[in-house]
């Protein structure tokens, strides 16, 4: 999931601190961030901090501008200064957690999110992101509890059902995972991954019709989505509709030429319509791709003989 979804919490309306000029800086910086003028926003925030060096809000806005611009180290410093200025404010820890998540420092993110929740137990977004951090640390059961807590606080929270479903799927609880993906689709119909993940489960459970419908919906949402084209091709293969499978799988191969699975499915489609030469070519490509992967795994690829 993109962390850009979490940025509105950073850019929430700032409290009035009683000094008009300070509030003026805050408003200007917020407007610049909202309009995508991130360098100008950072410059204005720094100018404001020269006059108001103890402004928590300006530090947080500076961090937000830097974070959105991809300057994570500097953003972390700004958020850290905000925490030093007001260690009882949950927002600073949440902001630091966002930086850690982007950098895949999941243990650090979990610590900061736990601190956020200790200060703000009803922060559904913090529970959701803590669940993500824990799941990436292979702590699936605690992650599920965090996703469930997020949903108990905010039942329509975007991506909460998706992440809960993903966690259930990793435990092999496919029925529960499918239910959560369907909930995400109902609440967030433009979110592509929920369609193909649900489609994969329906396909695995043998419901080709339901799987096909989900993959078709996924294609409409994201026409260049490899997973939906490959999934729909597999549905047609399962139905022995090889002519219909062929263009879907060929599209998947075009989108992901290095996919052994897609080339293998394409060979099956060619076999089904009697094009044995084309099938043999695709099987040969599969063998070549597998051999290359084995070389990389064994450390042979890229080695030089002295």
Predicted local distance difference test score (pLDDT) of residue 300: 54
pTM here is: 0.85
Predicted local distance difference test score (pLDDT) of residue 249: 98
- C-alpha to C-alpha distance for 228 and 248, rounded to whole angstroms: 9
Those residues with Cβ within 8 angstroms of residue 40's Cβ, 6 or more apart along the chain or in another chain: 32
Q: Which CATH class is domain 107-188?
A: mainly alpha
Closest CA to 179 of 195, 199, 165, 159: 165
- C-alpha to C-alpha distance for 26 and 143, rounded to whole angstroms: 36
Report yes or no: 59 and 49 within 8 Å, Cβ to Cβ: yes
- C-alpha to C-alpha distance for 279 and 223, rounded to whole angstroms: 26
H-helix or E-strand spanning residue 292 = helix 276-298
The pair of three-digit structure tokens given for residue 19, joined into one six-digit string: 């000094």
Residue 126 has what DSSP assignment?
Answer: H
Predicted local distance difference test score (pLDDT) of residue 157: 97
Length of the chain: 306
- C-alpha to C-alpha distance for 112 and 129, rounded to whole angstroms: 10
- C-alpha to C-alpha distance for 229 and 171, rounded to whole angstroms: 26
Report yes or no: 279 and 260 within 8 Å, Cβ to Cβ: no
Q: Which CATH number fits domain 189-296: 3.20.20.10, 1.25.40.10, 3.30.1300.10, 3.30.565.10?
A: 1.25.40.10
- C-alpha to C-alpha distance for 263 and 139, rounded to whole angstroms: 35
The answer to whether 1-103 and 189-296 have equal CATH topology is: yes
Q: What is the pLDDT along the chain (306 residues), one digit of tens a residue?
A: 445 445 444 444 444 444 458 899 999 999 999 999 999 999 999 999 999 999 999 999 999 999 999 999 999 999 999 999 999 999 999 999 999 999 999 999 999 999 999 999 999 999 999 999 999 999 999 999 999 999 999 999 999 999 999 999 999 999 999 999 999 999 999 999 999 999 999 999 999 999 999 999 999 999 999 999 999 999 999 999 999 999 999 999 999 999 999 999 999 999 999 999 999 999 999 999 999 988 877 665 444 433
Predicted local distance difference test score (pLDDT) of residue 9: 47
Residue 16 has what DSSP assignment?
Answer: P
- C-alpha to C-alpha distance for 242 and 265, rounded to whole angstroms: 10
Domain ranges of the chain: 1-103, 107-188, 189-296
Sign of the alpha-carbon dihedral angle for 195, 198, 202, 203: positive
Q: With 0-12 CB in 10 A as exposed, 13-18 as middle and 19+ as buried, what is 252?
A: buried
Predicted local distance difference test score (pLDDT) of residue 299: 64
Predicted local distance difference test score (pLDDT) of residue 297: 72
Please name the CATH architecture into which domain 1-103 falls. Answer: Alpha Horseshoe (1.25)
Predicted local distance difference test score (pLDDT) of residue 306: 32
């Amino acid at each position: 999931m993109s962390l850009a979804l979490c940025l509105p919490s950073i850019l929430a309306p700032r409290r009035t601190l009683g000094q008009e000029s300070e509030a003026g800086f805050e408003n200007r910086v917020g407007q610049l961030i909202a309009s995508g003028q991130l360098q100008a926003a950072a410059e204005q925030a720094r100018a404001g901090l020269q006059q108001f060096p103890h402004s928590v809000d300006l530090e947080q806005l500076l961090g937000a501008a830097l974070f959105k611009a991809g300057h994570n180290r500097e953003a972390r410093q700004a958020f850290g200064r905000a925490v030093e200025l007001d260690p009882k404010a949950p927002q600073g820890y949440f902001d630091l957690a966002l930086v850690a998540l982007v950098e895949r420092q999941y243990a650090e993110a979990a610590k900061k999110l736990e601190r956020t929740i200790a200060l703000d137990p009803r922060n559904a977004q913090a529970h959701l992101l803590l669940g993500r951090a824990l799941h990436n640390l292979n702590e699936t059961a605690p992650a599920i509890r965090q996703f469930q807590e997020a949903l108990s606080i905010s039942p329509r929270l975007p991506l909460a059902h998706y992440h809960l479903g993903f966690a259930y799927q990793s435990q092999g609880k496919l029925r529960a995972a499918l239910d959560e993906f369907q909930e995400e689709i109902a609440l967030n119909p433009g979110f592509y991954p929920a369609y193909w993940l649900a489609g994969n489960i329906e396909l695995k459970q043998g419901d080709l019709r339901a799987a096909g419908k989900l993959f078709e919906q996924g294609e409409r949402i994201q026409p260049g989505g490899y997973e939906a084209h490959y999934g729909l091709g597999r549905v047609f293969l399962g139905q022995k509709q090889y002519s219909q499978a062929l263009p879907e799988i060929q599209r998947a191969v075009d989108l992901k030429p290095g996919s052994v699975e897609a080339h293998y499915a394409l060979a099956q489609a060619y076999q089904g319509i009697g094009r044995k030469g084309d099938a043999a070519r695709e099987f040969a490509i599969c063998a070549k791709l597998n051999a290359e992967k084995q070389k990389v795994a064994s450390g042979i690829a890229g080695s030089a003989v002295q």
